[in-house]
Chains A and B, each alone.
Chain A
């Protein structure tokens, strides 16, 4: 703000507020224009491609979405959420547990970390054939893949968070006579929480991708499976509608965890 603006009277602040509002309005308009442009290009390309089933128009996809929302998609969303909830909680519990064990017992750490380091580069995707062999085409495939994918980010971040704890704080608590439990609840957990939550968010991201891939290739229910189902019927408008739903749900899930992060960590904003 320029120095001239500092000596403002009451009326001038109102003008300033109006200008602020105008700027905000303009930025909203530009954002909307971006989306409108994409939709326009999308329908133009669809028209040029000659055949509407190659790239269904935005209107067709919205229509398909309405049909889906009115009917069967609820069951698919539910199935996907069940897969995600089951797999994600298994993965997060295993990841947290292993990280806590590694941090607490150095002897175990020597064994756990090499195993994790060997498994980590093998993405969940690479397990799909084995998972198919072990479980057959069933809900176990996506759940297994989600759990596997979710384990690593939270493990790595939690361990990192515990290791980065401020030694000074630990020593201070210890020398002031705090008990082991007290140190855990008042120093270790608050100190590691930002990293744990970052890990939880990263885990959710990879879990989401694993869910779609697992359902698409080896599931018998869920959004990913439904994509393949509609592909068999060559219903591309419905395929795109489901892609849209996957995008929106993925965005909402990430936003929810980001909100949780902000809420729990008002005192310690972590770079996301």
Chain B
């Protein structure tokens, strides 16, 4: 089958599927409890037009990026130290391995207690989720730095600062970039989880909606709009798709030597 023909086939098959879905829901008169394509589009348009979606999206993204940066700031130096210095690795590995096995979302109650419901608790969960990909990958990359390069630099009289800058960073950068992709993907799904968990709490207190997760909780319990819920889900998927695409493009332009 040629590429072109198979593409046409897929698109038409999906179109038929969507039409069948729409038809089934409309004909059985189940519009109230089942999502359907045109309803999803209508609800999506409504929450986009009145700005609630954009405000929530901005709130979530802002927390994701902050948590991601905190994870990078903590994780990259820790990982590099673990990769370069055997005793740091010995001391830190059991700690990171045991902390890594804990699902980030499980920290929610304590995070709420320490940081409050306002959104900083979600931030904590995101940073916690993002830090481990950075640690693991940075450690692996630092371990893979060519020992001869290190020795050569040392023999030529380079100080630790120069060695880090001129040898360790360039050689670990591609792997760290991969770590960033993984971390950002995990961070994005953690923020939604955290906001959903928080949202259940916030909603009962009648507080304002803060992020995409909270928006969905409100949609679920207050508005009971299935179509908006599906639309929110699609937005979540679209954002994680875009994050990955942008980071991949970024890697190819910033680190052309790492292209595969």
A and B assemble together: yes
Pair A130/B230 contact, Cβ less than 8 Å: yes
Does B109 interact with chain A (Cβ within 8 Å)?
A: yes
Does A72 interact with chain B (Cβ within 8 Å)?
A: no
> Which residues of the partner chain A approach B112 to less than 8 Å between Cβ atoms?
231
Question: In angstroms, how far is the closest chain A Cβ from the Cβ of B32?
Answer: 12
Residues in A lying within 8 Å of B, measured CB to CB? 27, 30-31, 33-35, 37-38, 54-55, 106-107, 110-111, 114, 118-119, 121-130, 132-133, 208-209, 211-213, 216-217, 224, 227-228, 230-231, 236, 239-240, 242-243, 246-251, 254
Please judge, given known A-B contacts A106-B1, A110-B1, whether A126 and B13 are in contact too, CB under 8 Å.
no
Does B166 interact with chain A (Cβ within 8 Å)?
A: no
Please judge, given known A-B contacts A133-B226, A217-B197, A254-B101, whether A123 and B240 are in contact too, CB under 8 Å.
yes
- Which of B21-29, B45-53, B145-153, B231-239 contacts the other chain? B231-239
Minimum CB distance partner of A250 in chain B: B101
Question: In angstroms, how far is the closest chain A Cβ from the Cβ of B92?
Answer: 6
- Which of B61-69, B214-222, B248-256 contacts the other chain? B214-222
Partner of A133 from B93, B109, B229 at Cβ < 8 Å: B229
Please judge, given known A-B contacts A110-B9, A121-B238, whether A130 and B233 are in contact too, CB under 8 Å.
yes
- Inter-chain CA distance A127–B14, complex, in Å, is 21
Q: Which of B48-96 contact A (CB under 8 A)?
A: 87, 90-95
> Which residues of the partner chain A approach B179 to less than 8 Å between Cβ atoms?
none
> Which residues of the partner chain A approach B219 to less than 8 Å between Cβ atoms?
129
- Inter-chain CA distance A194–B96, complex, in Å, is 26
Pair B97/A251 contact, Cβ less than 8 Å: yes
- Inter-chain CA distance A124–B216, complex, in Å, is 14
Pair B189/A125 contact, Cβ less than 8 Å: yes
Chain B interface size, as a band, is 35 or more
Minimum CB distance partner of B92 in chain A: A34
Q: Provide 12 A-B residue pairs closer than 8 Å at the C-beta atoms, listed in order of the A residue.
A: A27-B90, A35-B95, A38-B95, A124-B189, A133-B229, A212-B105, A213-B105, A216-B105, A227-B109, A236-B110, A243-B102, A243-B110
Pair A126/B233 contact, Cβ less than 8 Å: yes
Partner of A239 from B1, B110, B226 at Cβ < 8 Å: B110
Partner of B192 from A126, A227, A249, A254 at Cβ < 8 Å: A126
- Inter-chain CA distance A207–B193, complex, in Å, is 14
- Inter-chain CA distance A235–B241, complex, in Å, is 39
Question: In angstroms, how far is the closest chain B Cβ from the Cβ of A250?
Answer: 4
Question: In angstroms, how far is the closest chain A Cβ from the Cβ of B202?
Answer: 13
Please judge, given known A-B contacts A208-B103, A236-B109, A239-B109, whether A125 and B91 are in contact too, CB under 8 Å.
no
- Inter-chain CA distance A128–B238, complex, in Å, is 17
Partner of A123 from B95, B102, B189 at Cβ < 8 Å: B189
For the A-B complex with A30-B87, A34-B91, A211-B103 known, give 7 more contacts whose Cβ atoms are closer than 8 Å.
A34-B90, A122-B237, A125-B193, A126-B237, A216-B108, A236-B113, A248-B101
Does B200 interact with chain A (Cβ within 8 Å)?
A: yes
- Inter-chain CA distance A127–B226, complex, in Å, is 12
> Which residues of the partner chain A approach B220 to less than 8 Å between Cβ atoms?
129, 132-133
> Which residues of the partner chain A approach B95 to less than 8 Å between Cβ atoms?
34-35, 38
Minimum CB distance partner of A37 in chain B: B91
- Inter-chain CA distance A38–B189, complex, in Å, is 28
Partner of A121 from B6, B90, B101, B241 at Cβ < 8 Å: B241
- Inter-chain CA distance A242–B217, complex, in Å, is 26
Does B10 interact with chain A (Cβ within 8 Å)?
A: yes
Pair B91/A31 contact, Cβ less than 8 Å: yes
- Inter-chain CA distance A47–B72, complex, in Å, is 29
3 shortest interchain CB distances as A-B pairs: A34-B91, A122-B237, A250-B101
Pair B229/A111 contact, Cβ less than 8 Å: no
Q: How does the 8 Å CB contact mask read for B150-190 relative to A, with 1 for contact and 0 for none?
A: 00000000000000000000000000000000000000111
> Which residues of the partner chain A approach B244 to less than 8 Å between Cβ atoms?
121
Pair A114/B216 contact, Cβ less than 8 Å: no
- Inter-chain CA distance A251–B113, complex, in Å, is 26
Most chain B CB within 10 A, of A38, A208, A254, is at A38
> Which residues of the partner chain A approach B105 to less than 8 Å between Cβ atoms?
209, 212-213, 216, 224
Minimum CB distance partner of B233 in chain A: A126
> Which residues of the partner chain A approach B232 to less than 8 Å between Cβ atoms?
126, 129
Question: In angstroms, how far is the closest chain A Cβ from the Cβ of B57?
Answer: 13
Please judge, given known A-B contacts A27-B90, A130-B230, A228-B109, whether A209 and B238 are in contact too, CB under 8 Å.
no
- Inter-chain CA distance A30–B112, complex, in Å, is 34
> Which residues of the partner chain B approach A106 to less than 8 Å between Cβ atoms?
1
Pair B94/A31 contact, Cβ less than 8 Å: yes
> Which residues of the partner chain A approach B122 to less than 8 Å between Cβ atoms?
none
Please judge, given known A-B contacts A34-B92, A111-B13, whether A247 and B102 are in contact too, CB under 8 Å.
yes
Pair A243/B106 contact, Cβ less than 8 Å: yes
Question: In angstroms, how far is the closest chain A Cβ from the Cβ of B39?
Answer: 14
- Inter-chain CA distance A35–B96, complex, in Å, is 10
> Which residues of the partner chain A approach B200 to less than 8 Å between Cβ atoms?
217
